[in-house]
Amino acid sequence: MARKGLFGWWHEGDAPAKKALIAASLGWMLDAFDVMLYALVLTSLMADLHLDSGTAGWIASVTLIAAAAGGLAFGVLADRLGRTRALMLSVLLYSIFTAACGFAQSAIQLAIFRIFLGIGMGGEWASGAALVSETWPDRVRGRALGFMQSSWAVGYALAAVVNYLVQDVAGLNWRYVFFVGVLPALITLWVRRNVEEPAIWRRARAESKPATIREAVAGKMLGITAAVTLMNAFSLFGWWAFNSWIPAYLRLPVASGGIGFSGSLMSGLVFVNQIGMWFGYITFGFISDATGRKRAYVVYLVLAAVSVWAYTSTANPWILLVLGPITSFFATGYFSGFGAVTAELYPTAVRATAQGFTYNLGRIASAAAPWLVGDFAKTHGYPAALSIAATAFLFAAMCWTFIPETKGRTITS
């Protein structure tokens, strides 16, 4: 029986499980740190490289398409070569190309660097989610994955702090913010020395040959795979539609469709939002373990839609200070369920492949979100453009009509 308390579940894992969770959490935290630097420096970058909002949104969308390709590729690699090897490679990839973004002299150069960054970004989640799913007990899997997913909020908050220190305090160019992004590469040294491949993966690898993507997600699983992929697509669309443009929306002058806050106020509001985001991640794991994956998902997604509409209806900084964490709580917390649901639906031999497929095919569909919001904002304003995210969250909730409850399932080899 799991111990009580916010982190009582931690004692349910053995030493290899704890190291696996730390590795995956660090990878995901630093993934968020590197990826979200773009949104935080966007106003300065757009001015320096002479980009309009449509082009800036297009570059963000290209990053997501690359992340989808990376997730698909690394899902297969994680099933074939191992979870930890794939994890290390993905971290190295996104770290190196984050720093490369600081050298970009044009939109094309920036897009190329963001493509390679995106491949590493997508690969990290596919590898890390499988690693955690296979090392933690069934009864606390949701909480473990929730903890891993919550590290995204920590990484985003760190990115806001670094952006503030580099641009607002030190007065340095936005390029230096990206240069800091190479530091995550250092965690691969610790992962290599301390994290083992899950025992269940080693057994499955020894007993059977690696499966193809078709074997992983088609056949009798085709209907469920389609529903999960669509749910991921709509929920990811909502998240990227909202979060890709919030920093720019808060910072841009009123004449350009924004609210016109200072850089320090924008960074502060984004930082506070991550507090709500972190609690959303953590509580989703507890709630989904207690009440079921389906009920938790639907409640979070519906309340995400409501809170996004509320957030885009005011320009009062004090109201936004309160609404921001609430919106981030519901509009992000459901991410903690992605790994648990797919781990409980698919067997070990194809788990990472299936997770990479359903998550990242959905990401391909969601890649249009930053571009669509940026382009729509030019004619209808940012509040109307950002409200597109709310509609996407409602569609994601509807997809759960076709997805079975998986709470408490023992993952199989």
Look at residue 394 in the predicted model and tell me its pLDDT: 96
- Which class would CATH give 14-402? mainly alpha
Cα of 53 vs its chain's centroid, Å: 22
Per-residue pLDDT at 1 exceeds 50: no
Q: What is the mean pLDDT of residues 215-237?
A: 83
Look at residue 2 in the predicted model and tell me its pLDDT: 45
* pLDDT tens digits for range 48-64: 999 988 898 899 888 88
Confidence of residue 35 (pLDDT cuts 50, 70, 90): confident
Per-residue pLDDT at 389 exceeds 50: yes
* pLDDT tens digits for range 144-160: 888 888 888 888 888 98
Q: What is the mean pLDDT of residues 215-241?
A: 84
Q: Which of 152, 186, 184, 195 is nearest to 23 (CA)?
A: 195
* pLDDT tens digits for range 258-307: 888 988 898 889 889 989 988 998 888 888 888 888 999 999 999 999 99
DSSP secondary structure letter of residue 400: G
Look at residue 274 in the predicted model and tell me its pLDDT: 85
Q: What angle do CA 371, 376, 378 make, to 5 degrees?
A: 105
**So where are the chain's domains?**
14-402
Per-residue pLDDT at 387 exceeds 90: no
Look at residue 316 in the predicted model and tell me its pLDDT: 93
Q: Is 108 exposed, middle or buried (0-12, 13-18, 19+ CB in 10 A)?
A: exposed
Look at residue 230 in the predicted model and tell me its pLDDT: 93
Confidence of residue 175 (pLDDT cuts 50, 70, 90): very high
Query: What's the Rg (C-alpha) of the chain?
Result: 20
